[in-house]
Chain A
Amino acid sequence: MVRIVLYLNQFFGQLGGEEAAAEPPRVLAAPVGPGRALTGLLEADEAFVGTLVCGDSYFADHPDAAAAACLDLIRPLEPDIVLAGPAFNAGRYGVACGTLAEILQRELGVTVVTGMYAENPAVELYRKQVVIVQTGLSAATMRDTLRTMLTLARKLRRGETLMPEEHGYFSQGRAMPAIAEKPAADRAVEILLAKLRGEPYRTEVVLPTFRRNAAPSRLGDLRDKLVALVTDGGLVPAGNPDNIESFAATRWGTYDIAGAERLAPEDYEVSHGGYDNRFVRQDPHRLVPLDAARQMERDGQIGRLFDKFVSTTGLSNPIENSRRLGREIAEYLRQQGVQAVILTST
């Protein structure tokens, strides 16, 4: 028997709406909500063995504890397959499904498939580690989505190779060996001709997409604000103490400027292989404008300059990694009470 467990949030698990979002995880033996639809899709050698339900806010507020509790509850069910969600466009639910899927795969070696709408923020967070079926925006497509999730889980268990486009899940960014019918030059010319003729074509190199974040609202006044200088131009103290790489940087550093009026050229160097940096080495203010910012501080145009400048190197960096660096820097600056950033970029 192939043992199947379903993970649902409080809403689909029928504990309640937002008022039940703080419910800790529990196991329900009988199928509820989407679980009923799922039981109708099972083959003779498959058994539905339980539903794990957890409130979205509970999971979001205590992700580590929630994941550990879910793991403890699921383990005795001895599942072969866990279907998580689908979460459609629900952000907290999506993150819970992604987190749980990743842990179940790692800790129990279980086959896990989840499902989400393309703009669910959890897609970007988990698509590399977890098979996430592309769903519609709402639960109207529940039955079809469950069928796709189940089908993919069966194929994964059998060790079949899945292809994102063919099987309707989000690309995991893996390069897979395959034999093409024609050499690359022929394919490229065919694509170009199709493009010129206005015919449909499919690129073989999909460019990264950039998710749009909401614009931070304006600051009415900077005269009482703590302002930080940040750069991705690779300015570092002489000797590059944090070993920030000159391309595809994995690190960022904070460098003391408390009380300093100027950046002396001999105290700094540039770790960036993407531009001719002799001008910045001659005068670091051409990248990190400490002199002008101190003037603004004296003139009262900004409240105070943060005591450190933050630096990393923006060159040949995978988007994913750049995002992480940005997130870490933003978290750090927020913890330090910084309210505005001037980021200078080469």
Chain B
Amino acid sequence: MTPVAEMVGSHRIVQGSGIVHPLGLASSTPEEERSLRDRILARAVDALKTDVDQPTVFK
């Protein structure tokens, strides 16, 4: 759904792992899932520390 976020003008966008669980992954082990969540959140914190002048997807 990141193209929608870009279209409406969100400035700092981090891709989640899916519509049904943006910060999880039901098919993986609980440990893997938690580590994925930590990584996505860390990326969000990095995005907040980065200057942008247009909608930007942080990968």
Contacts and interface: CB of A to CB of B under 8 A. Distances in A.
B37 A219 contact: no
A217 B51 contact: yes
Interface size class of B (residues with CB under 8 A): 20 to 34
A330 to B, nearest CB: 13
Contacts of B59: none
Contact of B22 (A211, A216, A286, A291): A286
A221 B49 contact: yes
B59 to A, nearest CB: 17
A344 to B, nearest CB: 5
A325 interface: no
A292 B43 CA distance: 12
B18 to A, nearest CB: 9
Q: Which of B16, B19, B22, B38 has the most CB of A within 10 A?
A: B22
Contacts of A282: 26
Interface string B26-46: 100000011001101110110
A200 interface: no
A275 B21 CA distance: 10
Contact of B41 (A213, A275, A342): A342
B49 A215 contact: no
Chain A contact residues, majority secondary structure: loop
Interface string A321-346: 00000000000000000001010111
A279 B37 contact: no
A301 B20 contact: no
B45 A286 contact: no
B49 A276 contact: no
A283 interface: yes
Given A215-B52, A221-B49, A280 B21 contact: yes
Contacts of B20: 275-277, 279-280, 346
Closest 8 CB pairs of A and B: A286-B24, A286-B21, A215-B11, A279-B21, A292-B37, A218-B51, A289-B23, A292-B41
Interface of B: 1, 5, 7-9, 11-12, 16, 19-24, 26, 33-34, 37-38, 40-42, 44-45, 48-54
8 contacts: A215-B54, A222-B49, A279-B20, A291-B37, A293-B41, A296-B41, A301-B42, A342-B44
